[in-house]
Amino acid sequence: MTDAPVLVEVERDGMVESQHRGHVVVVDESGAVVAHLGDPESVIYPRSAVKPLQATGMVQLGLDTDGSTLALAAASHSGEPFHIEGVCELLHRAGLTQSALQCPADLPYGTAARDAFLAAGSRPAPVVMNCSGKHAAMLWTCVINGWEPQDYLQPDHPLQRYLRDTITTLAKAPAAPTSTDGCGAPLYGLPLVGLARALQVMPSTPAGARVGAAMRAYPEFVGGTDRDVTHLMRGVPGLVAKDGAEAVQAMVVDVDGRRFGISLKIEDGAQRARSVVAAAVLEALGMVTAVTVEHRRQTVLGGGRPVGWIRPSAALDGLRVAAH
């Protein structure tokens, strides 16, 4: 495995006090690697960055929704009131209640949403957990197909077998090793380049095109009002982006008639580095917007005033995309 290069540096008054290493890969329409730093073949757990692929599989299985509720099926939502209402709508359309959800009880993922939730005296609940949209969509997909919903998280359940096959087909790589995600759903490893290829191919399928359209139209349902992944999708034309735990991100974007798949992993799991890398890679592709400029260089405070930056390393600043 190639050593992970430094991708992000934290500078305070001219001195670098922290560094974040990682891997990033960009593929084109043919699946060829056109830019990378680190090891494109590095096998990672994609965590929630794989949710658009799972949602694509569910649509192929007959999941009968679009718009904001389909965006929720691919979401790691912040737990804001509109997210919870959307999850309840998915469950209602499946003829189920919140008791059917098997994700853990949790507090809202978003900071502002969590503060408001606790101020209201509310207690952790599965419907609030950031993966509850995916779980509600999984349950509805089971109902549509006549499958037993009580054991929908078991790896040998027909739903989970189909979703694993969908991921493998789109990534053109084996989905292994196998583990369990934080929400309780089966989790599969993928080469970083496989994740990028899967996101690049996804919009070429009818089901994947529906998922991508929903995510682009309702980015606040994919993340939340104060989430960087939502800001990027709002501010970068045509972008579909999904973040994941332990600082993983997957994206697909069209640039001048070419479609690129992107995946990245920060080795130490630092989310502050993930958003910087995501913005810098988009800028390397020529997608320079106000939101990429905002996220690629973030302020470090000292005593409440700016004293430095969280910024791309020289290696990341030098990332170039190969021509045809």
What is the domain-level CATH number for residue 17? 3.40.710
Question: Can you tell me the mean pLDDT for 188-197?
Answer: 98
Residue 307 domain-assigned (yes or no): yes
Residue 58 domain-assigned (yes or no): yes
For 56-78, give one letter per residue: b (16+ CB within 10 A) or e: bbbbbbebebeebbbbbbbbbbb
Residue 147 domain-assigned (yes or no): yes
Residue 276 domain-assigned (yes or no): yes
Residue 323 pLDDT > 80: no
Q: Do 224 and 210 contact (CB within 8 A), yes or no?
A: no
Query: Which helix (H) or strand (E) is 241 found in, with range?
Result: strand 240-244
Residue 323 domain-assigned (yes or no): no
pLDDT at site 2: 65
Residue 12 domain-assigned (yes or no): yes
Q: Do 52 and 240 contact (CB within 8 A), yes or no?
A: yes
Residue 178 pLDDT > 70: yes
Residue 1 pLDDT > 60: no
Q: Do 253 and 224 contact (CB within 8 A), yes or no?
A: no
CA–CA gap between residue 85 and residue 136 (Å, rounded): 12
The domain of 151 spans 6-317
pLDDT at site 109: 95
Find out whether the peptide bond into 177 is cis, omega within 30 degrees of 0.
yes
Number of domain units in the chain: 1
Average pLDDT, the chain: 97
Could you read off the pLDDT of 59-94 as tens digits, one per residue? 999 999 999 999 999 999 999 999 999 999 999 999
Residue 1 domain-assigned (yes or no): no
User: 């969908």: which residue's tokens?
Assistant: 166
